[in-house]
Structure 1
Amino acid sequence: MERFLYLLLVTLSFVVPFLYSFEKKRLHFIQYWKPYFLSIIIAGLFFIAWDIYFTIAKVWSFNDTYLTGLTIFYLPVEEWLFFLLIPYASNFIHYALLHFFPSPRLGKVSARYVAYSLFVMALTITVFNSEKIYTFCSFGLFALLMLLQIIYKFHSFNRYILSFLVILIPFFIVNSWLTGLFTETPIVYYNNEENLGIRLGAIPIEDIFYCFSLLYTSILLFEFFKRSPIKQKRA
């Protein structure tokens, strides 16, 4: 059973949001499956390439005890599924919240202040940690994303930054499992020489910014690809 743990974590995280996507009376999210999966795949290809490189460079590695043993380009098949299924499930939460609770969002000034603050913070950490490759890349990419947000003022940010706080709840549950909080040994090992060594529970702090960059990139692509906005609940 242990050999299927990573596969089970990824699959169970995906199955409920996916099945609920077919519900027709309210959200009916499956109607957007083409642009949604396209955005996930395009964003995922970049992060998978990153993942392959980091695996080869031993920035992180995988525990064979919890894997089926199937590997594609240095990555276990479970990791490939992670980049397809987890973004679907995570960003489904955002659109479900947007549908059922459409009002809460940051104002334009507040959103700009948050983006500027996050950019300065991420850029500072990036500049002073160039020797730690995971820290440098995760915070560097996040800083670039915040810079693009400042320049182009993507409207999705005003709400997504709030949704992400909710998405962090299942993120911490799944990632804590992957990083060994609930198992004898971690499913994913991190080389602490390549990160800040700051952990939230068992999770390296870099994972949060890595996760945001992956998910928000797919959100921006999805909003670009889909032809009509998701219908929001009307009063």
Structure 2
Amino acid sequence: MANVLVCCMCQKNSSNNNKLMSNHIYYFLVLFWVIVFPLIFSFHKKFYFVDKWNLFIKSVFPVAVIFIAWDVFFTYKKIWWFNQEYITGVKLFNLPVEEILFFFVIPYACVFTFYNIAKFIPANKIKTSYTRIFFTLLLILSIILAVYYHSQWYTFTTFLLLSFTLFYFLFIKHDNIFLNYFLLEYLLTIPGFLFSNGILTGSFMVDKPIVYYNPKHHIGLRVMNIPIEDFFYGMIMLIWITYLFYIGYNRKFKSNIQSGQSIYI
């Protein structure tokens, strides 16, 4: 009888250990599903992106460094933190290695999307006025939210940086072609964002959030379980990475845009 009990306990412990092991790779699995299809299609002749990898790395790296520093600081200040149950435990700068990879994996999928939108849709087919109205209204809203929620660090920093970013692109760069394509990129990648951040915030597929947010430092408005700030935090990161990628092809863009073609040939 004792042997049976010991056997049952061993089986239960083994089952729990297996479950724990599988839980620890959840964040990696999220990153895998985000990048797998863009990566596969990068080799397809119609969407070929492999020869742009060098430019992508040059574009993503400086922005990723800034956002990783932001992440390190906010993690240190307990503005957000990570559920140890769903990460491997390997850390860099006190961040889970999965979180570091996040700043390269997500942008890859989005820049790949931008590249192919711009490749197949002629620049003169998108109405600039709608884009400028959208971003101008978002700029005004960002300023209001940054001022009103100045004591909530995540809300304040996100909307303050978004305000500066949108002002720069709307009134200093005046690059309507880029904004048109970027808005399309952003809207098309929202389903993927809802999938990845939905899992990370515990909206579905996991029993608990992988990332926790300090309720003192955000508005409290959520989509599923995703803080509304996440949508605009991602927008800031993506617009700068995408723009660096875009200006990397600036000479080619000019000739194509003037003829009303897509910006990539």
By the TM > 0.5 criterion, same fold?
A: yes
Which residue identity does 2:170 align to in structure 1?
I
Please list the CA deviations of residues 67-124 of structure 1 after superposition, one character each: whole Å capped at 9, or x if unmatched: 11100111000001100111101221222233334465232x3333222211111011
Which residue identity does 1:94 align to in structure 2?
F
TM-superposed deviation, 1:8: 1.2
Instruction: Name the CA distance, whole Å, in 2 between partners of 1:55 and 1:233.
Output: 39
Higher helix residue share: 2
1:18 and 2:39 aligned? yes
CA contact (8 A) 2:43 2:50 kept: yes
CA contact (8 A) 2:114 2:242 kept: no
Q: Which structure exhibits the higher relative contact order, with contacts defined as CA atoms closer than 8 Å and separated by 6 or more residues? A: 1
Partner of 2:73: 53
Instruction: Name the CA distance, whole Å, in 1 between partners of 2:92 and 2:114.
Output: 31
* Structure 1: unaligned runs, 5 residues or longer: none
Instruction: Name the CA distance, whole Å, in 2 between partners of 1:23 and 1:73.
Output: 36
Partner of 2:180: 158
Match of 2:234 among 200, 211, 233: 211
Instruction: Name the CA distance, whole Å, in 2 between partners of 1:15 and 1:141.
Output: 31
Instruction: Name the CA distance, whole Å, in 1 between partners of 2:62 and 2:113.
Output: 20
CA contact (8 A) 2:220 2:227 kept: yes
CA contact (8 A) 2:117 2:181 kept: no
1:94 and 2:114 aligned? yes
CA contact (8 A) 1:142 1:213 kept: yes
CA contact (8 A) 2:152 2:219 kept: yes
Instruction: Name the CA distance, whole Å, in 1 between partners of 2:32 and 2:165.
Output: 29
Q: TM-score, normalised by structure 1?
A: 0.92
SS of residue matched to 2:81? strand
RMSD: 1.9
Which residue identity does 1:204 align to in structure 2?
P
Q: How does 1:125-136 map onto structure 2 within 5 Å?
A: 125-136=145-156
CA contact (8 A) 1:60 1:188 kept: yes
CA contact (8 A) 2:110 2:185 kept: no
TM-superposed deviation, 1:233: 9.9
User: Cα–Cα, structure 1 residues 209 and 233, in superposed 2: closer, same or farther, change >3 Å?
Assistant: closer
Kindly, what percent of the aligned residue pairs are identical? 33
TM-superposed deviation, 1:187: 0.2
Instruction: Name the CA distance, whole Å, in 2 between partners of 1:87 and 1:173.
Output: 15
Which residue identity does 1:46 align to in structure 2?
I
CA contact (8 A) 2:80 2:212 kept: yes
Match of 1:111 among 126, 131, 135: 131
SS of residue matched to 1:156? helix
CA contact (8 A) 1:195 1:204 kept: yes
1:71 and 2:91 aligned? yes
Instruction: Name the CA distance, whole Å, in 2 between partners of 1:232 and 1:161.
Output: 16
Q: Tell me the number of residue pairs that the alignment of Structure 1 and Structure 2 aligns.
A: 232
TM-superposed deviation, 1:160: 1.4
